[in-house]
Amino acid sequence: MSFSNMFPMYFIQGQQWLGLLPLLCMALTAIATLLLAPLRLQGRATAFAMLLIGSIAAVASTVVFPFSETIIILDGVLVFDRLSQVFSAICVLAGLAAALMSLGFDEREALQTEYFSLIAFAVVGMMAMVSTRNLVFFFVSLELMSLAVYVLVSMHRQSSMASEAGLKYFLLGGAASAVMLYGASILYGTTGSLDVEGIRNAFQSQWGGKLPILPLIGLGLFSVGLLFKIGAFPFHVWIPDVYTGAATPVTGFMISAVKAAATGALLRMSIELFALPVAAEPFLITVLSIIIVATLLFGSLVGARQTRLKRIFAYSTIVHTGYVLLGFLALLGGGAGAKDASSAIVSYTVFYVVMNLGAFAVLTLISPKDNDDISLDQLTGLGTRRPLLAFALSVFLLSMAGIPPTAGFFGKYYIFSAALASGYTWITVVAAIASVVSAIIYLRPMIHMYMKESDESYSALPSNWLGSNMIVGLSLFLTVVMGLIPAWFSKLL
Amino acid sequence: MSQILSWIVLLPALTGFLILLLPKSWETKSRQIAVFASLIVAVLAIWVSQEFDIKSLEPYQFHVKFDWVPMLGIHYDLALDGMNLPLVVMTSLLTPLAFIGTWNQTGVTGTMQRRIAALVLIMETGALGTFLAQDLFLFYIFWETILLPCYLLIGIYGGAERGKATLQFFLYTFAGSIMMLVGIAWLVHSQAQITGHPDASIQTLMNLKLPFDATAGLGGLLSTQGLLFAAFGAAFFIKAPLFPFHAWLATTYRQAPTLVSIYLAAILSKMGAYGILKILIPLFPEATHAFGPVLMSLAAFGIVYGALLAIVQSDFKTAVAYSSLSHVSYILLGLFSMKAEGMGGSLLQMVNHGISITGLFLVAGFLDKRRGSLALKDFGGWAIQTPVLATAFMVIVLSTVALPGSGGFVGEFAILIAAFRVNGYITAVAATGMVLGAVYMLNLYQKTMFGPFADDYVDKVNDLDFREIATMVVLGLFIVGIGMAPQTFMAPSRAAVEESAKRVSPEDALPTRQSLPGQVSNF
């Protein structure tokens, strides 16, 4: 296959522009925001306004111009369907929320306009990542997202840990990307295609679904990059340190948007690449099961002992990765639950993003100016100092713990019911036990907020930024509504 | 009016949220609003219990049902089915009584009044919803609604060791209920495989024939029905609790504020017992039969164990907590006998125990408020200074030891008869609990009310005030009323209980009940 075969001349026409529109909006925003500084149009407000307009245009274009059939551009380099729309919208909105939080949070840091440009670039990468079938384009999108996030992490200049976190994330992320690329090259070598459909057809025609060892290794190595981004067990080590070192809004961005994008990409690959005939491959299923159990147990057991809030949320996100992967197990296992599993994963991701953004918005409001790595002790007495904020944080924590009637409960139930339907009873029981242990993670902040005597030394309020308050309010509303009327949100895919 | 059950269930929580949103200047009115709302609920509950048609062939009355999450077959589905009627009335009556009886203990600050009033009302919604839900998933939602307010109330306003108590309470009950959630998902999935569309209503799930294989390992526990039995059992046995799932009980009851202790012992433990009656036995009859002897032995052991521990306690409230364990074990013994009279006796006993344990914890609250301590060594000779308190306490004691003429006698007697028909040895052990029960109750009474004064403190003790007297009088009226005419209280549930017993053990039909010709065993 020659280069011209791989990337032939191509004209985009008609409805294809509709599919491309959101991506174009964000890309233009990213470039335009980047140009602000060279043109000496300094001003964070301007940059944020541009990001706001671009994001709204991107989301609105999917709502205003809905399309029913799948739009394929460049033979599957870009694919626009329901899945890419939903995950793109999640990433755009999460990026916007993070930018809004930073605006109030980082006022003392004199944020440059590039900050907003980087967020926009990362979002472009995410949108491309969830809308492609081409492994090379996928890698490029992933790197676009990752490079922007590496810089965002290191930009937290007042923290001594930020550069360490940025470097750690960069080195480990680079290694994971290399492994992923190696996996892609093995797949290309064995099947002669870089396109997901081509690879799947080759699997079927060459081996009839029973894969030999080499393409299996290729698939496994390729998954490593994605498992790294979502923080599954052996690839989770970076999460606590990087989440602690980054500024709180950036951590919020990573925990919501980056996770959602990686989940979306994994979902597309699972549906289109790992789906039949590999589905019943017992080796892959066994490995995935081990990863799930280890992720759940590690996250909940270690998380229960943490005393710093950002670390607590870091381990909480590892536990949630375990639940999402349980949904993937149901999807790939090919049992009766497979057809519900993808919508369970989408619902879970939406619920998860909303409650984490809300929780991080609360964190930006209660972090002192000099050090945003706050400890549980600093939460003490929040229930009397800021009753509404404490109530909101409690709802988010309960939602993460999966207590009804919050969104997180239904997310968990969808996943459990899909996994049971696919026949993975024992892993579901392990997940249930892990959710009891992980309840400790979420109860401890509440114990400090409500059940300990108020400590006057923390009584000064660091921030009352309206933007973060709006995010808290909106997330709270959505968490409760999605818990009470989950049916509205279960048909996203 | 067709939505009356929704009003009964949701009014408390709505009032609770309203109370949370009250302006600061209204804070001190929270308790009045809470009592008013819970009284409205009580009136509505009594009204529906009067309107409930015993002779009707329709098992579900005042039925409210609509789809909630169609994808998973979940309905919003409330109905009175006779079995839950006594418990709904009990819950709705005990809530205002508990508020009024603990009036002087909940009112230190406005914030405290507001929080306690709101959270207890949310708990009332959880309890009433659990009893009325006819959809398994809805049952679970209401079941879990209780957990959090209870956790917060104990954690914020509990005793000195509240941190340990709350964590223990939360983890135990959450572990049980998450297993139930997995069980629900499994059941609904099995149901969907047969009919093609999921449906979580209890009535539909009852018709599932789940395979039970006694040779599957651990006496059948590893077969499908055995595993589901274990998953649901985990939730119900912990909440009730059944020995050996009771480890959280004493600390939690002891550390909770009086109002919450009442709720835990009188109402939450009944949720566990009701779950066994309504869900565990009808859905998994073969498994319950197979494990019946083990479960009855555990219940009988719990009766004796709780009573012995209650005897040796040096703290009033801990002793009451263990007495509750002992009495709840009676209820479970009756349920596991799977006989109509045993299950009916248990249902009656649920109401009796709810009333008498409320009385006991109220007395504990009265003593604590007046003495600032609950250690038995600090009491003695109070009968002289506080004759009204002593009289009220005596009435509660007599009801608790199941004196003939009190409701407890009828219930425990029916339970023991049913248990005896199943296994005489277990019943012999259980019956000793009646004697031991008299020992610890009279012991408690003697050490507090009789004997020499512990010190000169007794001079300053006030007798019960008007609100406390009113509460105890109402409780006393119920004790005597149920004892004199248990059938008027239990008639609505009779048909439902017999129907349930017939389903699970058709071979031993009661002589008083007409066996239908042509009825075949479903085993």
Q: What is the pLDDT of residues B197-256, one digit of tens each?
A: 888 888 888 888 777 777 777 777 778 888 889 899 989 999 888 888 888 888 888 888
Q: Which residues pair with B201 in a beta bridge?
A: B135
Residue with tokens 């009289």: B391
Q: Within the 233-252 window of chain A, which residues sit less than 8 Å (CB to CB) from chain B?
A: none
ipTM: 0.83
**Top-confidence residue, B159 or B34:** B34
Domain boundaries, position B494: 4-504
Q: How far apart are CA A106 and CA A108, in angstroms?
A: 5
Contact B167 A432 (CB under 8 A): no
Q: What is the pLDDT of residues A175-229, one digit of tens each?
A: 999 999 999 999 899 888 888 888 888 887 887 767 788 888 888 888 888 899 8
Q: Which tokens go with B82? A: 């006779």
Mean pLDDT for B133-141 is 91
Please tell me whether residue B387 adopts helix, strand or coil conformation.
helix
**Per-position DSSP letters for A203-259, written without gaps between them:** IIIIITT---HHHHHHHHHHHHHHHHHHT-GGG-THHHHHHHHS-HHHHHHIIIIIH
Give the best residue of B181, B194, B195, B223 to mutate against chain A (max A CB count within 10 A).
B181
Nearest chain B residue to A443 by CA distance is B167
Contact B181 A432 (CB under 8 A): yes
Whether the predicted pLDDT of A65 surpasses 80: no
For residue A410, the distance in angstroms to the closest alpha carbon of chain B comes to: 10
Contact A417 B163 (CB under 8 A): no
Report the 10 Å Cβ neighbour count for B208. 15
For residue A351, the distance in angstroms to the closest alpha carbon of chain B comes to: 16
Contact B186 A425 (CB under 8 A): yes
Report the 10 Å Cβ neighbour count for B254. 23
Q: Do A382 and A460 form a contact (C-beta atoms < 8 A)?
A: no
Q: Does A416 touch chain B (CB under 8 A)?
A: yes
Mean pLDDT for A287-300 is 91
**Closest Cβ–Cβ partner in A420, A451, A491 for B189:** A420
Q: Which tokens go with B80? A: 């009175």
Domain boundaries, position A311: 279-493
Residue B160 is classified by DSSP as: T
Supply the mean pLDDT for chain B.
83
Q: What is the pLDDT of residues B54-107, one digit of tens each?
A: 777 777 888 888 888 877 788 888 888 888 888 998 999 999 998 888 887 766
Please tell me whether residue A14 adopts helix, strand or coil conformation.
coil
Residue A379 is classified by DSSP as: G
Choose the weakest-confidence range: A258-272, B207-221, B293-307: B207-221
Contact B163 A447 (CB under 8 A): yes
Give the pLDDT confidence score for residue B513 in this predicted structure: 39
Mean pLDDT for B459-465 is 74
Contact B182 A487 (CB under 8 A): no
Give the pLDDT confidence score for residue A423 in this predicted structure: 83
**Per-position DSSP letters for A280-311, written without gaps between them:** T-HHHHHHHHHHHHHHHHHHHHHHTT--BHHH
Give the best residue of B24, B67, B69, B115 to mutate against chain A (max A CB count within 10 A).
B69
Contact A451 B182 (CB under 8 A): no
Confidence of residue A280 (pLDDT cuts 50, 70, 90): low
Q: Which residues pair with A79 in a beta bridge?
A: A72
For residue B139, the distance in angstroms to the closest alpha carbon of chain A comes to: 11
Q: Do A119 and A47 form a contact (C-beta atoms < 8 A)?
A: no
B63: enclosing H helix or E strand:
strand B61-69
Q: Would you say residue A425 lies in a domain?
A: yes
Confidence of residue A318 (pLDDT cuts 50, 70, 90): very high
Q: What is the pLDDT of residues B22-35, one digit of tens each?
A: 887 887 888 888 89
Q: Would you say residue B238 lies in a domain?
A: yes
Residue B102 is classified by DSSP as: T
**Closest Cβ–Cβ partner in B67, B144, B182 for A429:** B182
A356: enclosing H helix or E strand:
helix A338-366
Q: Does A404 touch chain B (CB under 8 A)?
A: yes
For residue B161, the distance in angstroms to the closest alpha carbon of chain A comes to: 12
Q: Would you say residue A437 lies in a domain?
A: yes
B64: enclosing H helix or E strand:
strand B61-69
Give the pLDDT confidence score for residue B106 in this predicted structure: 67
Q: Which stretches of chain B sit within 8 Å of chain A by CB?
A: 67-72, 111, 140-141, 144-145, 147-148, 151-152, 155-156, 162-163, 166-167, 170-171, 174-175, 178-179, 181-182, 185-186, 188-189, 192-193, 227
Q: What is the pLDDT of residues B387-405, one digit of tens each?
A: 888 888 888 888 888 877 7
For residue B244, say if its preceding peptide bond is cis, omega within 30 degrees of 0.
yes
**Closest Cβ–Cβ partner in B67, B141, B182 for A432:** B182
Please tell me whether residue B519 adopts helix, strand or coil conformation.
coil
Instruction: Give, rounded to a whole angstrom, the gap between the first and last alpha carbons of chain A.
Output: 35
Q: What is the pLDDT of residues A418-438, one digit of tens each?
A: 898 888 888 998 999 898 888
Please tell me whether residue B62 adopts helix, strand or coil conformation.
strand
Q: Do A358 and A374 form a contact (C-beta atoms < 8 A)?
A: no
Residue B360: CB partners within 8 Å, gap ≥ 6? B320, B323, B324, B396, B400
Whether the predicted pLDDT of A326 surpasses 90: yes
Q: Which tokens go with B417? A: 């008869």
Closest CA to B296 of B380, B422, B207: B422
Break chain A down into helix, strand, coil percent, rounded to 5.
Answer: 75, 0, 20
Contact A439 B186 (CB under 8 A): no
Whether the predicted pLDDT of B344 surpasses 70: yes
Q: Do A486 and A348 form a contact (C-beta atoms < 8 A)?
A: no
Contact B145 A405 (CB under 8 A): yes
Give the pLDDT confidence score for residue A320 in this predicted structure: 94
Compute CA B262 distance to the chain's CA centroid, rounded to the nearest angstrom: 10
Q: Does A421 touch chain B (CB under 8 A)?
A: yes
When divided into structural domains, chain A yields a total of: 1
Q: Would you say residue A270 lies in a domain?
A: no
| Backbone Cα Rg of chain A | 22
Give the best residue of A436, A440, A482 to mutate against chain B (max B CB count within 10 A).
A436
How many CB pairs (< 8 A) connect A and B? 83
Whether the predicted pLDDT of B522 surpasses 50: no
- Quick one: B56 exposed, middle or buried, by C-beta within 10 A (0-12, 13-18, 19+)? exposed
- Quick one: A103 exposed, middle or buried, by C-beta within 10 A (0-12, 13-18, 19+)? buried
Q: Does A403 touch chain B (CB under 8 A)?
A: yes
**b or e along A229-260 (b: 16 or more beta carbons within 10 Å of the residue's beta carbon)?**
bbbbbebbebbbbbbbbbbbbbbbbbbbbbbb
Contact B147 A451 (CB under 8 A): no
Supply the mean pLDDT for chain A.
84
Residue A109 is classified by DSSP as: G
Q: Would you say residue B249 lies in a domain?
A: yes
Q: How far apart are CA A162 and CA A247, in angstroms?
A: 8
For residue A406, the distance in angstroms to the closest alpha carbon of chain B comes to: 10
**Closest Cβ–Cβ partner in B140, B152, B170 for A439:** B170
Measured between beta carbons, the chain A residues lying within 8 angstroms of B151 are 443
Distances (CA, A) of B250 to A376, A411, A493: 29, 35, 49
Contact B181 A416 (CB under 8 A): yes
Compute CA A77 distance to the chain's CA centroid, rounded to the nearest angstrom: 22
Contact A443 B170 (CB under 8 A): yes
Q: How far apart are CA B322 and CA B361, in angstroms?
A: 12
Nearest chain A residue to B228 by CA distance is A425
Q: What is the pLDDT of residues A353-397, one digit of tens each?
A: 999 999 999 998 888 766 777 888 888 878 777 888 888 999 999
Contact B185 A416 (CB under 8 A): yes
Whether the predicted pLDDT of B515 surpasses 50: no
Measured between beta carbons, the chain B residues lying within 8 angstroms of A403 are 144, 147-148
Q: Within the 324-383 window of chain A, which residues sit less than 8 Å (CB to CB) from chain B?
A: 336-337, 340
Residue A233: CB partners within 8 Å, gap ≥ 6? A291, A294, A295, A298, A318
Contact B185 A403 (CB under 8 A): no
Q: How far apart are CA B347 and CA B78, in angstroms?
A: 20
Closest CA to A153 of A255, A226, A304: A255
Residue at B297: amino acid letter: S
Residue B81 is classified by DSSP as: -
Q: Would you say residue B520 lies in a domain?
A: no
Q: Do A224 and A135 form a contact (C-beta atoms < 8 A)?
A: no
Contact B69 A486 (CB under 8 A): yes
When divided into structural domains, chain B yields a total of: 1
Give the best residue of A447, A453, A481 to mutate against chain B (max B CB count within 10 A).
A447
Mean pLDDT for B181-189 is 88
Contact A487 B69 (CB under 8 A): yes
Q: Would you say residue B199 lies in a domain?
A: yes
**Closest Cβ–Cβ partner in A417, A435, A450 for B72:** A417
Give the pLDDT confidence score for residue A66 in this predicted structure: 67
Q: What is the pLDDT of residues A98-130, one digit of tens each?
A: 999 888 776 655 567 788 899 999 999 999 999
Residue A111: CB partners within 8 Å, gap ≥ 6? A44, A102, A103
What is the percent of chain A where pLDDT is above 90? 31
Q: How far apart are CA B201 and CA B210, in angstroms?
A: 16
- Quick one: A74 exposed, middle or buried, by C-beta within 10 A (0-12, 13-18, 19+)? middle
Q: Which tokens go with B384? A: 């002289």
**Per-position DSSP letters for B252-300, written without gaps between them:** HHHHS-HHHHHIIIIIIHHHHHHHIIIIIHHHSHHHHHHHHHHHHHHHH
Measured between beta carbons, the chain B residues lying within 8 angstroms of A428 are 182, 185
Q: How far apart are CA B328 and CA B306, in angstroms?
A: 10
Residue with tokens 């099961």: A289
Q: Does A490 touch chain B (CB under 8 A)?
A: yes
Contact A487 B155 (CB under 8 A): no
For residue B377, the distance in angstroms to the closest alpha carbon of chain A comes to: 30
Give the pLDDT confidence score for residue A472 in this predicted structure: 92
Q: How far apart are CA B107 and CA A322, in angstroms?
A: 45
* The Cα angle at residue B70 between residues A358 and B185, in degrees rounded to 5: 75
Give the pLDDT confidence score for residue A257 in this predicted structure: 94
For residue B106, the distance in angstroms to the closest alpha carbon of chain A comes to: 17
